[in-house]
Amino acid sequence: MIHFVLSISRQGKVRLTKWYSPYSQKERIKVIRELSGMILTRGPKLCNVVEWRGFKVVYRRYAGLYFCMCINQEDNELEILEIIQYFVETLNRYFGTVCELDLIFHFHKTYYILDEILIAGELQESSKKIVHRLIDAQDLLVEAAKEKENTVSYIVAQVAN
Amino acid sequence: MALSGMRGLSVFISEIRNCQNKEQERLRVDKELGHIRNRFKNEKGLTVYDKKKYVWKMLYIFMLGYDVDFGHMEAVSLISAPKYPEKQVGYLVTSCLLNENHDFLRLAINTVRNDIIGRNETFQCLALTLVGNIGGRDFAESLAPDVQKLLISSSCRPLVKKKAALCLLRLFRKNPDVVNVDGWSDRMSQLLDERNLGVLTSSMSLFVSLVSNNHEAYWSCLPKCVKVLERLARNQDVPQEYTYYGIPSPWLQVKTMRALQYFPTIEDPNTRRALFEVLQRVLMGTDVVKNVNKNNASHAVLFEALALVMHLDAEKEMMSQCVALLGKFIAVREPNIRYLGLENMTRMLMVTDVQEIIKRHQAQIITSLKDPDISIRRRALDLLYAMCDISNAKDIVEELLQYLGTAEFTMREELALKAAILAEKFAPDLSWYVDVILQLIDKAGDFVSDDIWFRVVQFVTNNEDLQPYAALKAREYLDKPAIHETMMKVSAYLLGEYSHLLARRPGCSPKEIFSIIHEKLPTVSTPTISILLSTYAKILMHSQPPDPELQNQIWAIFSKYETSIDAEIQQRAVEYFALSKKGAALMDILAEMPKFPERESSLIKKAEDTEADTAELSAIKSRAQQQASNALVVTDQHPANEPPQVTQLGMVKIPSINNLENNHVDQEVTQTNGIMGEVEPQNGDILGDLLAIEGPPGVSGTETLTEEGALALAPVGELENAVKPVIDIAERFRDLCVKDSGVLYEDPYVQIGIKAEWRGHQGRLVLFLGNKTTSSLDSVHAVILPPSHLKLELSSVPEIIPPRAQVQCPLEVVNLCPSRDVAVLDFSYKFGTTLVDNKLRLPAVLNKFFHPVTLSAEEFFPQWRSLAAPPLKLQEVVRGVRVMSLGEMTNLLNSLKLIVSPGLDPNANNLVASTTFYSESTQSMLCLVRIETDPADRTQLRLTVASGDSTLTFELKEFIKEQLVSIPAASRPPVLQPTIQPISSSDPGALLAGLL
């Protein structure tokens, strides 16, 4: 199982955190600090796994951004490595050539997409197409509600006047 | 794409990004939090839009690592909003902001449940996602049936179903009982017939978890898993969207193979054949390709297939195919494959007999020890450790030693420990072992724990043939211009004991040995100086007839250190000085160390501990078990809960070094030789005690001990003896329960003192048996009647105690599991014709295995809540409590190492306390206690005790009760109230304790 997902920039800025095992805020900060220290300093051409506190952290770098997932020692590392890739490909398709700024300013979107891919630290859906359909449907629901709200509030405002 | 929306949020994020430094960022965040707090305080004028915006900001701030300790209510309340956009935000922010231990989450259970059982699919999805990501035990208990129903409902669409499957998986992890209900395994089996691969992926994850917990119920699912694999392997009926870089859902393949590994075997020949066909195809058909992602995905499947083949213990042919593949992998350029190749080789060693084939790759593995990647180096080190046996130990250990010089600091300690263990376990000859350890110390002294050098000392002490060699080696290292302090310790120790064996060699006369050691004295630290002083005394003893010049030199040193500020050094200097004036008598007192008793290697134990930490080690353990029979040195392997047994295979059996003290070896030297006997640190009158060996004592230790006063005597069993104790033993026993030294028993002839040290679940007691009279005590017998939860080892007790002498009997205690039963010392002796027999309770009581711990409110309450119900949490109203103020009660609890956290309980009449309990079965376990007193009636209170172990909770509750209730006027201490317990009723010790 995936215990947590982190996305950290090369400068050590946190871009995304999702915790499937209970960690207090204090522990979370410590985990991020420790792992940034270990992972950001690793050179290129090394393997994508670091061993940490009896767990394994599988990470992958995309430009200036590292995506990390923490798993149990006996879990399948390469499978997780490709979940990262699949997640990033999904983001890419949604944002259209995703860049770090997309993740910063639309961090809430990133969370919605992650929730369609992982639940309870396990892979929920491996079809990009279906994930897209679901996210688009969510967006539509929000838009529809907004429009409706606008009209209602418009009417209310009219009446008040 | 709908990214539109919150201008305020975007502006805030850019402002944070524009902060020049951390301080500015903090100021900006504080300002924002203040603003949000104000807005939340005054709900008026707060639109839904505002609320959403603010909780997003809170989440952003929280993600950056700041504490956000308000606004949880607002986030949770959005969940119950009627409209989708609010609900969506509420669910998402709540699931990121809170974790399963938050109280606020409970408030949401009902709303969440309504969404799950409601008709709105989108709401169902949101609710299932939240529960799946952060649901705790409460959720498991209230929601599992609803989620199960949803999962098997025929009208439930895939988008909801897959979420329900993973949600149920989480609930199962939090409380397996809620899912293991009658008939569920049939339902699970139906779920595996699912055609939709998204749903099947989620269901398979659920299945893996269920079957890992108990495979028995799920045999009917096994053929279905094989069917799934066949379907994927043949790429039949796999929609394009579920192939990943041309591979039919690699994730589902991996999960399915993982599930199959939880079944012990596959009986049905057809299923087995079908599975092996698939596996064969994977093993043969996976090639290295250029595309990284495709490569990773296909190898994810391949490595899982390898694991499954190993698990099924396939035909020899397939196994050797696997080893061949792994051999190829550890040599490829792709670092991930290299890493996994090494890791899987180690796993393979654990399950099957492929050691000989793997040994062929030794050179390649050793190359990996120099890989630029630390992850790969670690795997290589583990593999070398696991594959080491007597045939390749020399090569491997030498490689490890060489690597030690260049290894990074984070790996050195582990490396040193592993090299030491391998050298010990597989030494082809003993001198090689000594060489290795000395090299280890020389190259990486800072990383060589005391255990390692203690061990080499024990080894040499127990093997006479080795002694001249070891002394010579130690002497050679001293010629180096700069040597590590640990080397100094071990050399000084070895030369003190054995340098006389070298006397005829050049440069090895007592004088020369002394001066080369003494040269280094100014550079060493205090503990080492103590060792050097012992060495000097030994050198002096060995130079008979005495060389006056050497004698004067050493005497001068002793007298110089007589005024040392360090008590240990001072004491040694004074003692050795006095002793060395005694001429020939010195020979007896400072004679060579006797052999150490046989015990398990503490090094290997330590290795097991560290490895348990990193949870990596079953391979190595199982290797150790397999190889024990070839080992030169037997290191007994045994499951943690059983007492160690001594095997008969070893040529050499070696005691463990007790970890209780750093300078234990050294201490043991003096003790066994009888010097320290009377010079327990508490006793100031050192010389008087020393003299006791030869003649009547001066002011002897016995009086000193009585003055200490703390000591209690607690005979168990009726006193029919003519000789009556002269102190109130019951009361003293109670005192000793909270103190670690004092008198246990005293009558006109004998006094028994006790001194104890405790660490974790182990303890070391020393009994001081003192003869107060001027004639000998005969037929002295001391036998321990241990209760079943304690392992006690009493060293031999001499039959006769000379007049006015005191003997020491160390007693090792290991606490196996929680219990209040008390160990009993059956002590008897003859004075003249009178036989005196006493049964004394030993103060190795429950609270001795406590370690004080102070908890803050945020540490205490989540624990307290997570231990919700019996048997882990027990409550009882206790009546007949001794009347005491809250302050007195606090002191009482603190004295038992149940540390009271003042102010933690909002009610001033209540006390909350915590401690950590150690035993072999429970390891270290946190215990929480709450006492609610009634100010109107001080004789009653309500006691609640919680811990992670039901026996511990019960025992601790009873134990505290015993401490609190008032003692009847008769000298019957509370601890003696018969506490008949099924587990211990067969124990002699417990029975005796119960009799009183």
Query: For residue B303, what are its two tokens?
Result: 């490595």
Chain A nearest CA to B216, separation (Å)? 22
Q: Which of A108, A128, A145 sits opposite B83 (nearest CB)?
A: A145
**What pLDDT is recorded for position A76?**
95
Chain A nearest CA to B252, separation (Å)? 9
Q: Name the band, by pLDDT with cuts 50, 70 and 90, for residue B654.
A: very low
Which of B97, B129, B294, B411 to mutate against chain A (most A CBs within 10 Å)? B129
What tens digit of pLDDT does each residue of B314-353 get?
677 788 888 889 999 999 989 999 999 999 999 888 877 7
Using a CB-CB cut-off of 8 Å, the residues of chain B touching A68 are none
Residue B758 labeled ligand binder = no
Is position B699 within any domain? Answer: no
Q: Which of A42, A45, A125 sits opposite B162 (nearest CB)?
A: A125
Q: In whole angstroms, how far apart are CA B549 and each of B468, B541, B565, B679? A: 26, 14, 27, 30
Q: Does B939 have pLDDT greater than 70?
A: yes
**What pLDDT is recorded for position B122?**
94
Is position B213 within any domain? Answer: no
Task: Say yes or no for a CB contact (<8 Å) between A32 and B88.
Answer: no
Task: Say yes or no for a CB contact (<8 Å) between B13 and A108.
Answer: no
Say how far apart CA B340 and CA A77 lie, in whole Å.
8
Average pLDDT of B916-931?
88
Residue B95, sorted as left (phi over 0), alpha (psi -120 to 50) or beta, turns out to be alpha
Place of tokens 């990383």: B447
DSSP secondary structure letters along A23-40: --HHHHHHHHHHHHHHHT
Q: Which of A85, A124, A146 sits opposite B163 (nearest CB)?
A: A124
Q: Name the band, by pLDDT with cuts 50, 70 and 90, for residue B294.
A: very high
How many pairs of residues across A and B have Cβ atoms under 8 Å apart? Answer: 188
Q: Name the band, by pLDDT with cuts 50, 70 and 90, for residue B593.
A: confident
Q: Tell me the residue range of the domain where B883 lies.
A: 848-971
What percentage of chain B's residues is helix, strand, coil (to nearest 5)?
A: 55, 10, 30
Query: For residue B115, what are its two tokens?
Result: 């969404």
Task: Say yes or no for a CB contact (<8 Å) between A82 and B293.
Answer: yes
Higher per-residue pLDDT: B617 or B483: B483
Which residue is closest to A93 within chain B, CA to CA?
B1
Higher per-residue pLDDT: B491 or B794: B491
Is position B856 within any domain? Answer: yes
Q: Please name which of B295, B315, B182, B207 lies closest in space to residue B244, comparing C-alpha atoms.
A: B295
Is position B37 within any domain? Answer: no
What tens digit of pLDDT does each residue of B272-285 get?
999 999 999 999 88
Hey, is the C-beta of A157 within 8 angstroms of any chain B C-beta? no
Q: Name the band, by pLDDT with cuts 50, 70 and 90, for residue B429.
A: confident
SS3 B505: coil
Hey, is the C-beta of A12 within 8 angstroms of any chain B C-beta? no
Q: Which of B129, B252, B299 sits opposite A78 (nearest CB)?
A: B299
Task: Say yes or no for a CB contact (<8 Å) between B99 and A19.
Answer: yes
Average pLDDT of B556-582?
88
Is position B868 within any domain? Answer: yes
**What pLDDT is recorded for position B719?**
42
Q: Which of A23, A79, A82 sits opposite B99 (nearest CB)?
A: A23
* Domain count across chain B: 1
Q: Does B608 have pLDDT greater than 80?
A: no
Complex-level ipTM = 0.94
Q: Name the band, by pLDDT with cuts 50, 70 and 90, for residue B905.
A: confident
Residue B57 labeled ligand binder = yes
**What pLDDT is recorded for position B406?**
82
Hey, is the C-beta of A152 within 8 angstroms of any chain B C-beta? no
Chain A nearest CA to B984, separation (Å)? 37
Chain centroid to Cα B720, Å, comes to 46
Average pLDDT of B600-605?
66
Say how far apart CA B763 and CA B660 lie, in whole Å.
8
Task: Say yes or no for a CB contact (<8 Å) between A22 and B615.
Answer: no
What tens digit of pLDDT does each residue of B11-40 get?
999 999 999 999 999 999 999 999 999 998
Task: Say yes or no for a CB contact (<8 Å) between B375 and A51.
Answer: yes
Chain B nearest CA to A41, separation (Å)? 12
Is position B469 within any domain? Answer: no
Is position B716 within any domain? Answer: no
Which residue is closest to A14 within chain B, CA to CA?
B64
Residue B234 labeled ligand binder = no
Task: Say yes or no for a CB contact (<8 Å) between B92 and A115.
Answer: yes
Say how far apart CA B220 and CA A101 lie, in whole Å.
50
Q: Name the band, by pLDDT with cuts 50, 70 and 90, for residue B989.
A: very low
Residue B8 labeled ligand binder = yes
Which residue is closest to A94 within chain B, CA to CA?
B1
**What pLDDT is recorded for position B664?**
43
Chain B nearest CA to A124, separation (Å)? 5
Q: B117-131, B700-714, B738-752, B969-983 — which is least confidently predicted?
A: B700-714
Rg (CA), chain B: 35
**What pLDDT is recorded for position B982?**
41
**What pLDDT is recorded for position B351?**
74
Which of A15, A30, A83, A115 to mutate against chain B (most B CBs within 10 Å)? A115
**What pLDDT is recorded for position B618?**
36
Hey, is the C-beta of A51 within 8 angstroms of any chain B C-beta? yes
Chain B nearest CA to A64, separation (Å)? 16
Using a CB-CB cut-off of 8 Å, the residues of chain A touching B615 are 54, 73
Which residue is closest to B171 within chain A, CA to CA?
A120
With contact defined as beta carbons under 8 Å apart, do B321 and A94 qualify? no
Indicate if the alpha-carbon torsion angle B203, B208, B213, B219 is positive or negative. Answer: positive
**What pLDDT is recorded for position A82?**
97
Q: Name the band, by pLDDT with cuts 50, 70 and 90, for residue A158.
A: low
Mean pLDDT of the residues in chain B: 80
Q: Name the band, by pLDDT with cuts 50, 70 and 90, for residue B665.
A: very low
CATH classification at residue B886? 3.30.310.10
**What pLDDT is recorded for position B43?**
75
Percent of chain B with pLDDT over 70: 83
**What pLDDT is recorded for position B991?**
41
Q: Does B712 have pLDDT greater than 70?
A: no
Q: Name the band, by pLDDT with cuts 50, 70 and 90, for residue B637.
A: very low
Indicate if the alpha-carbon torsion angle B927, B932, B938, B940 is positive or negative. Answer: negative
What tens digit of pLDDT does each residue of B205-220 get?
999 999 998 888 999 9
Place of tokens 């002497």: B475
Task: Give every CB contact of residue B687 below 8 A, 6+ residues apart in sequence.
Answer: B574, B578, B698
Query: For residue A143, what are its two tokens?
Result: 């838009």
Model confidence, pTM:
0.65
**What pLDDT is recorded for position A161?**
54
**What pLDDT is recorded for position B705?**
35
Q: Does B533 have pLDDT greater than 60?
A: yes
* B-proximal residues of A, 65-94, CB under 8 Å: 73, 76-79, 81-83, 85-86, 94
What tens digit of pLDDT does each residue of B670-695 get?
343 433 333 333 333 333 333 233 33
Chain centroid to Cα B696, Å, comes to 48
Chain B nearest CA to A161, separation (Å)? 19
DSSP secondary structure letters along B372-433: S-HHHHHHHHHHHHHH--TTTHHHHHHHHHHHHTTS-HHHHHHHHHHHHHHHHHH-SSHHHH
Is position B548 within any domain? Answer: no
Say how far apart CA B977 and CA B51 lie, in whole Å.
62
Chain A nearest CA to B673, separation (Å)? 45
Residue B242 labeled ligand binder = no
Average pLDDT of B443-457?
85
Say how far apart CA B324 and CA B134 lie, in whole Å.
44
Using a CB-CB cut-off of 8 Å, the residues of chain B touching A141 are 84-85, 88, 122
Among the ranges B107-121, B305-319, B691-705, which has the highest mean pLDDT value? B107-121
Residues in chain A: 161
